[in-house]
Amino acid sequence: MNRRFFVWAAIVGLFLDQVTKIAVYGMFRGGAFADTRTVRLLGNVLKLAFEQNRQGVFGLHYGPQFLYFVLPLSASALVIWYGFRVKDAWSAAAFGMILSGALGNVIDRARLGYVIDFIVFELRRLGFQWYTFNLADAFVVVGVIMLLGKEFLWRNKPAPAATGAVSAPTEAESGHE
């Protein structure tokens, strides 16, 4: 049963990631937004933009180009291993989301030579702007948060240790004679 949550979360996440990237690519590369750099969705807080990310997560450089495939595919193998072994639906869905994110970005690199990033989140008044990201990145982060939340917030508390059988007090012990 939990394998279904894992597989469906991975399939739905990968589908949503790829569809949004194809849509954004089309809109900014000859479509409705071809002449603009960004599109505001929620004032200056949330915007759409088209960026070609040739680097790794958070702009990191991994070294040779093949590592941009080897690292996420190795991580994906590990996620699949865990995803099929977890006992609860919550963790299975979390691992499925993480897998969809890792594979979504690998598909971009294999198909285009870069990852399509398009979500811009910033809080100008605080001088904060996050890296431009995509749904694959969001799925990885949400999946990890789900696993951490389950581990640290919703962990089953151990049952109190049994102290032995409790018997009713005798007449002498209760003070009634």
* Rounded Cα gap, residues 39 and 58, in angstroms: 22
Residue 87 lies in a domain: yes
Residue 124 lies in a domain: yes
The confidence score (pLDDT) of residue 39 equals 86
Residue 99 lies in a domain: yes
Residues recognised as catalytic = 117, 137
pLDDT averaged over every residue in the chain: 86
Residue 161 lies in a domain: no
Residue 76 lies in a domain: yes
Mean pLDDT of 162-175: 56
70-112 pLDDT, tens digit per residue, is 999 999 999 999 999 999 999 999 999 999 999 999 999 999 9
Mean pLDDT of 35-47: 85
Residue 48 is part of which domain span? 2-19+32-152
The confidence score (pLDDT) of residue 156 equals 64
The confidence score (pLDDT) of residue 32 equals 75
Residue 168 lies in a domain: no
Residue 176 lies in a domain: no
End-to-end CA distance of the chain: 60
* Domains of the chain: total: 1
Residue 138 lies in a domain: yes
* Rounded Cα gap, residues 143 and 90, in angstroms: 10
Query: Exposed, middle or buried, 174 (CB in 10 Å: 0-12/13-18/19+)?
Result: exposed
- Could you tell me which residues are beta bridge partners of residue 152? none
Pull the structure tokens for residue 153.
């917030």
Highest mean pLDDT among 34-38, 55-59, 90-94: 90-94
